[in-house]
Structure 1
Amino acid sequence: MRLSDELPQDHRLATVYRYGAATGGVLLLAFGTLGFLDRLAFFDTTGRQVAGLSSNGLLSLVSVLVGLALVAGAVIGGNLASTLNMIVGGLFVLSGFAGLAVLDSGANLLAFRMPNVIFAFAMGLLILTFGMYGRVSGGLPHDNPYWRARHPEHATPQAVAPQAVALPARGRTPDPVAVESAGD
């Protein structure tokens, strides 16, 4: 799997990436800001309830920083937003596992409790899905901009012989392998 920046920038999937990054960023900014408003102790390992989750000052700071990064990715958009969503989503899933490993211990620097772990897994999978949507798949359709960028030899309109190609079903493009064999 290649996640290169030379892939198409201007396509309709960029809107999905932007909305995913913006939604995740705004949620994290709200959570972190509520933690700062409660004046939480920075390294308190027991934490206090904020919006149904346990939090401390460090978790509030991390939430605000990651939220700002996601909002910035939403503003920039394109492949950067997609890649940022995938990275942040993966880190959220990893933080869920890390939080699960340190529950009820002195090493719990982010004051995680079980609802935090579940939130980290859910938020991570959501953001990860927004980042991967339409970009990472074994069966991308041939009109997908990422498929065309990875298969330029099949995506060029000159390679298609119009008289030899049957009309595809509505919304689908012809199979390039079938088009090439029909032209021979």
Structure 2
Amino acid sequence: MGELRRGWASDQLIKAAQDGDTDSIAAVVHSAHPHVRRFARHLCASPQDAEDAAQEALIVLYRKIGTLRASAALASWMFRIVRHECLRRVRRLTDHDHDLDHDLALGVGRASSAEDEVLTRLEAERVAEAIRALPDLQRRVLIMRDVLGRPGRTVAETLGLSVPAMKSQLHRARSALRLSLLDAANTRA
């Protein structure tokens, strides 16, 4: 079999999977599993979201490996799928509550221009990028507490921290995020 890419499947195995060989597809999914889980643990807000996102990404891999253009692109393709799934899970929780509250307060349905949607997506991507740049523990605390709205004690227990340590990490994360977004805004201005 061809050369292995840092634990991912060989080019030959990926090619056979792209051509529809079911044993090769299963082998590629199996070899991708630990890498996909690692991506998900780093990108998702909670361990449960990470597991769910990893499973969804592996299902996509299983169903759509034939659409992969180059075997060398497998890792980046899977990273994008996992990232999309993690962001989808966070947005599903936050957008649903926010949109309902906003629409009810205004008494209107959701109507925005394509330009507004693009600007909103760009801003969301800037925030997501700034959050991804945080150290792992700070990122997890920030997402669980500020994005998902989990109680502080729950966040602390989930991450194996004392409540004061969780609050310290949250403060550091918020400060770093604020500085990062201010620097980005100043750079654009």
TM-score scaled by structure 2?
0.23
Query: Which structure's residues are more often helix, by fraction?
Result: 2
Structure of higher RCO (CA pairs closer than 8 Å, 6+ residues apart):
1
TM-score (norm 1): 0.23
